[in-house]
């Protein structure tokens, strides 16, 4: 037993000190082999999911595939394919091992992808082209897709660069990305750069070159405490006058920048290629980074068909997107059919109270604590509603409204990637970054992402396969129509 313990301790040290994802992955596999996790993976029965349903579905797909019956495969997939079939997305299934989950679940996902390959490859004599196109459209819409949401966090936002770098290197970046405040800068970089360009842009040297002096003191008595010119110049260098529509055409990624109104009676806005195709990304990001008091609100701008730059939503100014829409999951769901979220969370108001492991309450204590937390949130919102109703001063009413919005938001997703909770992080929120501090934040983001990469790959495998084949079929349809 002592040898057993020493071996595990040694492997855990290797996991902790891994210098690359390859080292981390290898150490995790070794840990699962020694800890008994591999034996757990190999056993189908488990009360955390409906293994009988999954096993039967696997057998039916294998039988149809052995007969070359693609119509039957389409029928089986149509019956009930969704991301949590039989509760296979239960977080409890991913906490019993370092890498992977039940082998049966892995087999199921593999069989679905093989079935989709077979259906796509079927010739037109077996499956009519437009019937096939309709199948992939309907199935992709019903199954949904994942999104990546990057929170606010001021100077801590460079943590997002490490998260995105790790996902980009393994081709796991979702095509739907949102960013608020500091997160909008990284979202803008994702949306305006190709895979290889992004590898360069997410380096510590590149980021330091552009943002080493983002904080310039303007002084009291000015419109804001900080001079925004250095930040504006950096954003112009990064995005020029590219619009959301132009970015989508270049990269195929749907980026969203959230902004909050600087006055009452207005709601937060999501700026993207669907809602505001001609809006200029530079001004949208600058507005989303306009933390009240620190930076002045921003007038958005758009580009006309002739290339002229004009005001967008005249007579309105916008500020920090994280105040009212740090993680706009519900609206992304309506716009893009998103039903699964990956969150990189650096908001200093939220991180101290969050955990990266989103599991269901299993004990009476957990249930009670969750209930108390919800009561405190509801009571706080009620108190701010009362204050807002009875206070007439416009500035005070606006401040109360913003604070209420901060409390009322949801700050977690299905998969949560968080920085380590360290006191030095507080000092970095409003500091001009050094090359070393940016490098540390990027490395921290990468390391925090490593434990989630396997889960992300598994959760996005089917949706990405569906949308890849749908894109190819749409391209073929355009050729058939002569477009």
Question: Known catalytic residues?
Answer: 181, 320
* CA–CA gap between residue 316 and residue 312 (Å, rounded): 9
- Alpha helix locations (H) across 122-151? 129-143
Question: Measured at the alpha carbon of residue 116, what is the angle toward residues 114 and 121, in degrees to the nearest 5?
Answer: 95
Return the bridge partners of 147, or none. 341
Q: How many CA atoms lie within 13 A of 341 on its CB side?
A: 24
Return the bridge partners of 148, or none. 177, 342
Q: How many CA atoms lie within 13 A of 377 on its CB side?
A: 13
Strand duo 254-261 + 176-180: pairing: parallel
Reference 180, options 323, 42, 55; nearest CA is 323
- How many residues are there in the chain? 483
DSSP class of residue 193 equals: S
φ/ψ (deg, to 5) at 277:
-60, -35
* CA–CA gap between residue 301 and residue 16 (Å, rounded): 47
Reference 186, options 274, 250, 246, 253; nearest CA is 253
* CA–CA gap between residue 45 and residue 406 (Å, rounded): 43
* CA–CA gap between residue 442 and residue 76 (Å, rounded): 43
Q: Is the dihedral of CA 479, 481, 482, 483 positive or negative?
A: negative
Cα of first residue to Cα of last residue in the chain, in angstroms, is: 69
* CA–CA gap between residue 200 and residue 229 (Å, rounded): 25
Say if CB 161 and CB 148 are below 8 A apart.
Answer: no
């Amino acid at each position: 037993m002592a040898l057993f313990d020493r071996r595990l301790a040694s492997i855990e040290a290797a996991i902790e000190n891994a210098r690359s994802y390859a080292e981390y992955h290898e150490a995790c596999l070794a840990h699962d082999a020694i800890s008994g996790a591999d034996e757990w993976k190999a056993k189908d029965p488990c009360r955390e999911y409906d293994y009988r349903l999954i096993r039967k579905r696997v057998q039916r797909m294998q039988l149809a595939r052995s007969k070359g019956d693609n119509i039957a495969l389409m029928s089986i997939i149509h019956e009930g394919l969704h991301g949590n079939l039989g509760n296979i997305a239960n977080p409890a299934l991913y906490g019993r091992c370092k890498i992977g989950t039940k082998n049966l679940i892995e087999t199921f996902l593999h069989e679905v992808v093989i079935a989709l390959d077979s259906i796509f490859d079927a010739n037109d004599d077996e499956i009519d082209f437009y019937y096939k196109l309709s199948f992939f459209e309907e199935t992709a819409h019903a199954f949904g897709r994942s999104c990546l949401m990057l929170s606010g966090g001021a100077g801590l936002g460079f943590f997002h660069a490490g998260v995105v770098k790790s996902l980009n290197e393994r081709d796991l970046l979702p095509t739907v990305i949102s960013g608020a405040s500091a997160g909008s800068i990284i979202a803008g970089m994702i949306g305006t750069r190709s895979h290889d360009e992004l590898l360069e842009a997410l380096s510590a040297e590149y980021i330091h070159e552009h943002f080493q002096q983002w904080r310039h003191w303007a002084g009291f008595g000015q419109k804001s405490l900080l001079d925004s010119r250095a930040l504006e110049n950096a954003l112009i260098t990064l995005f020029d006058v590219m619009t959301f529509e132009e970015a989508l055409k270049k990269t195929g990624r749907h980026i969203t920048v959230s902004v909050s109104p600087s006055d009452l009676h207005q709601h937060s806005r999501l700026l993207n290629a669907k809602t505001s195709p001609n809006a200029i990304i530079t001004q949208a990001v600058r507005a989303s980074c306009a933390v009240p008091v620190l930076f002045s609100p921003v007038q958005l701008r758009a580009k006309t068909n002739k290339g002229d730059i004009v005001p967008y939503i005249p007579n309105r100014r916008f500020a920090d997107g994280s105040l009212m829409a740090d993680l706009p999951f519900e609206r992304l769901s309506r716009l893009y059919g998103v039903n699964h979220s990956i969150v990189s969370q650096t908001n200093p108001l939220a991180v101290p109270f969050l955990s990266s492991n989103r599991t269901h309450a299993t004990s009476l204590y957990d249930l009670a604590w969750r209930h108390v937390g919800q009561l405190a949130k509801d009571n706080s919102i009620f108190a701010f509603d009362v204050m807002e109703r009875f206070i007439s001063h416009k500035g005070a009413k606006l401040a109360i409204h913003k604070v209420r919005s901060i409390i009322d938001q949801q700050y977690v997703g299905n998969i949560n990637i968080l920085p380590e909770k360290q006191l030095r992080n507080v000092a970095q929120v409003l500091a001009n970054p050094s090359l070393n501090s940016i490098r540390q934040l990027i490395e921290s983001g990468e390391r925090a992402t490593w434990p989630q990469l396997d889960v992300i790959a598994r959760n996005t495998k089917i949706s990405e396969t569906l949308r890849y084949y749908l894109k190819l079929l749409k391209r073929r349809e355009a050729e058939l129509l002569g477009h």
